[in-house]
């Protein structure tokens, strides 16, 4: 698939300078419109053969455009902090906000390609990673991002010529290293692996643009014009592109489901509760200090009906942990900074390092709960969110996280009792708001949404624990026991 980039593309200086002025002006106008509209970000991936001019083209874009609203991320070997998170974590955090252009020099493709060439990654392992990348890029596009991927190509002979030319020029000699020359020896392997990678990831959501890297003028104009054309097309189209529609929900034929089948009458008397609470809190404290836990992390997500006891259950968990070991993340309406990023971004950045615990009081499931019911996002957005959430949670598990999700269920009468109790007790009044009463009027809709999310996102790697929470004592012990049993089963 690289043949068209080896036919000898070149542009003379006169032609380049004549085209450059108009291109620069249009790029600046488009960049300004992008910033003013603030509707979508641009994610620009620059990849390819060593010596093909990746750095030079990025520098040219900075010269043509306003550098204040460009950002370049160069990714080399991951740091210790990055190795303790999912593979995509360092890229998640580096995504540009809406209205900005982010340039990735080295991207989520670099490590899989290098790993396959070094035979550290099997062909199946590579294909699994590429499938994850395809789904990630599709998610970015569905969230509104313009994703442009450029592969700079050189023939085997062209690579050697380019490296020698760069090495002779004092201004560019620093770009050529021993590693650059070493990679000429694996040229055939790179072409084989890169050809496979580009073929598998050349999707409708994020297609590849292959650029001949031999001639600087041609390469820079090719990238500049492709960026301009894509920017103008998106700026003129007010609709966000949607690809890969999600599977629709199937209407149930009866009222039997994972919530209606619960026995909410289960209780623990105070004496037994105190005994069981101490037992499981003590066990959790031991497991959190287990030597094997230093190589894992724990992610707990709490969802449930309003007043179901999420906060008090979380307090019983943290009472068993070292405060230096955990973080509680309460989730409310997104901030302006969070709205400028993909929906999952505000959760991505809170993922814990190894040996740590992060507890989410409400979580990424808001998209398929409150946002679905209140109409804060389109149906296509919350429908595709189920698969995106599954992908996210599976990446956490593959990186060593233990993910446990709790749905706390109470009945409507118990919720009313707790609402009234909160209104009467001074230190609990802040917990009851007008929003709680509004949500209660949509009880059936929230129940249906909860059943749907459990059915669609309770997976082998990240199952839901549905908790009968009419009795707080019973719920708290069940939650602690579930965490301990999951940790014991994982740590051995």
Residue 352: DSSP 8-state: P
**Angle between helix 54-64 and helix 216-236 axes, rounded to 10 deg:** 50
- 195-231: b (≥16 Cβ within 10 Å) or e: ebbbeebbbebbebbbbbbbbbbbbbbbbbeebbebb
- Please tell me the predicted confidence (pLDDT) of residue 242: 73
Least confident residue range of 149-158, 197-206, 276-285, 432-441: 432-441
Torsion from C-alpha of 418, 420, 423, 429, nearest 10 degrees:
20
Strand partners, 211: 152
Neighbours of 255 (CB within 10 A): 7
Higher-pLDDT residue of 477, 51: 477
* Whether the predicted pLDDT of 27 surpasses 90: yes
Query: What's the CA gap between 307 and 410, in Å, rounded?
Result: 8
pLDDT average, residue stretch 425-437: 79
Ramachandran angles phi, psi of 437, nearest 5°: -70, -35
Average pLDDT over the chain, rounded to whole?
93
Neighbours of 124 (CB within 10 A): 8
- Please tell me the predicted confidence (pLDDT) of residue 167: 83
Alpha helices in 210-318 (DSSP H): 216-236, 270-288, 310-318
Query: What's the CA gap between 445 and 433, in Å, rounded?
Result: 19
Assign 244 a pLDDT band (cuts: 50, 70, 90): low
Domains (ranges, CATH) in the chain? 3-236 (3.40.50.300), 270-491 (3.40.50.300)
* Whether the predicted pLDDT of 77 surpasses 90: no
Determine what percent of the chain is predicted with pLDDT higher than 90: 80
For the whole model, what pTM was predicted?
Answer: 0.89
Sheet with strand 297-304: strands edge to edge:
326-330, 357-361, 297-304, 401-409, 464-468
What is the residue-wise DSSP string for 69-116?
GEEEEE--SPPHHHHTS-TTHHHHHHPPPTT-EEEEES-TTHHHHHHH
Check: CB of residue 423 under 8 Å from CB of residue 392: no
Neighbours of 492 (CB within 10 A): 7
Query: What's the CA gap between 316 and 301, in Å, rounded?
Result: 15
- Please tell me the predicted confidence (pLDDT) of residue 64: 97
Ramachandran angles phi, psi of 21, nearest 5°: -60, -45
- Please tell me the predicted confidence (pLDDT) of residue 491: 95
pLDDT average, residue stretch 149-161: 90
- Please tell me the predicted confidence (pLDDT) of residue 245: 60
Neighbours of 244 (CB within 10 A): 15
Higher-pLDDT residue of 322, 50: 322
Assign 432 a pLDDT band (cuts: 50, 70, 90): confident
């Amino acid at each position: 698939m690289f043949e068209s980039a080896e036919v000898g593309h070149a542009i003379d200086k006169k032609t380049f300078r004549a085209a450059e002025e108009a291109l620069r002006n249009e790029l600046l106008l488009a960049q300004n419109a992008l910033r003013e509209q603030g509707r979508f970000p641009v994610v620009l991936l620059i990849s390819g053969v060593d010596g093909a001019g990746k750095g030079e083209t990025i520098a040219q874009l900075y010269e043509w455009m306003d550098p204040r609203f460009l950002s370049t991320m160069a990714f080399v070997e991951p740091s210790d902090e990055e190795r303790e998170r999912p593979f995509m974590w360092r890229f998640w955090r580096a995504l540009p906000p809406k209205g900005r252009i982010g340039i990735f020099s080295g991207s989520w493709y670099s490590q899989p390609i290098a790993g396959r060439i070094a035979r550290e990654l099997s062909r199946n392992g590579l294909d699994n990673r590429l499938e994850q990348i395809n789904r990630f890029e599709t998610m970015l596009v569905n969230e509104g991002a313009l994703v442009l991927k450029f592969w700079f190509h050189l023939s085997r002979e062209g690579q050697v010529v380019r490296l020698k030319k760069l090495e002779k020029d004092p201004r560019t000699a620093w770009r050529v290293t021993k590693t650059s020359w070493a990679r000429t020896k694996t040229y055939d392997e790179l072409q084989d692996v890169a050809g496979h990678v580009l073929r598998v990831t050349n999707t409708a959501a994020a297609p590849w643009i292959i650029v001949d890297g031999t001639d600087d003028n041609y390469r820079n104009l090719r990238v500049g014009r492709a960026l301009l054309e894509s920017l103008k097309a998106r700026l003129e189209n007010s609709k966000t592109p949607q690809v890969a529609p999600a599977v629709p929900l199937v209407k149930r034929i009866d009222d039997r489901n994972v919530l209606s089948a619960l026995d909410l009458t289960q209780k623990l008397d105070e004496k037994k509760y105190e005994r069981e609470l101490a037992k499981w809190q003590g066990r959790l404290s031991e497991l959190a200090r287990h030597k094997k836990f230093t190589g894992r992390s724990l992610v707990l997500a709490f969802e449930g009906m309003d007043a179901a006891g999420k906060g008090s259950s979380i307090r019983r968990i943290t009472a068993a942990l070292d405060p230096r070991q955990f973080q509680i993340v309460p989730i409310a309406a997104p901030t302006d900074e969070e709205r400028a990023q993909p929906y999952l971004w505000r959760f991505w950045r809170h993922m814990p390092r190894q040996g740590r615990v992060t507890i989410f009081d409400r979580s990424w499931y808001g998209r398929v709960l409150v946002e679905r019911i209140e109409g804060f996002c389109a149906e296509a957005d919350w429908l595709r969110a189920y698969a995106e959430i599954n992908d996210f949670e599976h990446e956490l598990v593959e990186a060593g996280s233990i993910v446990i999700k709790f749905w706390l269920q109470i009945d409507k009468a118990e919720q009313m009792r707790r609402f009234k109790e909160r209104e009467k007790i001074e230190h609990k009044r802040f917990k009851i708001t007008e929003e709680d009463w509004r949500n209660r009027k949509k009880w059936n809709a929230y129940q249906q949404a909860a059943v749907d999310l459990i059915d669609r996102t309770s997976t082998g790697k990240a199952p839901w624990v549905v908790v009968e929470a009419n009795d707080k004592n019973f719920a708290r012990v069940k939650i602690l026991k579930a965490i301990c049993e999951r940790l014991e089963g994982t740590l051995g």
